[in-house]
């Protein structure tokens, strides 16, 4: 088993500490410009400076939520579909991706942990 779990598929290169904006955008069916907007950076920053703190912070938050959603729902495809498309009533019907873009990934992970524990759902 890969000790990095969900993270390894999003690394810039094997052994790299950086997450790849292109890989994450592709997996989430996003344009790079949408990902840049969520990171609050210029669209060229994702290609020119993927190591920028704002970029990596957003990418880590996305991977964290994907990991928690995969655990809650049982598979990565369902987790990503939920993250991108499902309005969550507990968060005023925003999607998990919207919440991550607002810097609220901790709230999403807590919500997903409660689903996994059987408290919400």
Average pLDDT over residues 59-72: 96
- pTM summary value: 0.91
* Rounded distance between C-alpha atoms, residue 107 and residue 105, angstroms: 5
CA distance 8 to 121: 29
Mean pLDDT of all residues in 9-34? 94
> Would the pLDDT of 1 be above 80?
no
* pLDDT of 3 above 60: no
- Helix-helix angle 53-73:105-117, to 10 degrees: 10
- pLDDT at residue 120 is higher than 70: no
CB burial of 33-59 (b: ≥16 within 10 Å; e: otherwise) equals eebbebbebeeebbeeebebeebbebb
Question: What is the average per-residue pLDDT within 19-27?
Answer: 96
- Backbone dihedral angles phi then psi of residue 94, each to the nearest 5 degrees: -90, 155
**Residue 87 to residue 106: CA distance in whole angstroms:** 17
């Amino acid at each position: 088993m890969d000790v990095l779990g969900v993270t390894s598929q999003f690394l810039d290169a094997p052994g790299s500490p950086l997450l790849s904006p292109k890989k994450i955008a592709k997996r989430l069916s996003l344009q790079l410009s949408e990902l840049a907007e969520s990171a609050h950076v210029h669209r060229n920053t994702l290609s020119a400076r993927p190591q920028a703190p704002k970029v990596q912070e957003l990418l880590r938050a996305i991977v964290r939520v994907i990991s928690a959603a995969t655990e809650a729902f049982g598979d990565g495809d369902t987790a990503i579909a939920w993250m991108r498309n499902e309005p969550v009533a507990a968060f005023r019907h925003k999607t998990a991706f919207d919440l991550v873009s607002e810097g609220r990934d901790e709230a999403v992970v807590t919500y997903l942990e409660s689903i996994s524990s059987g408290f919400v759902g």
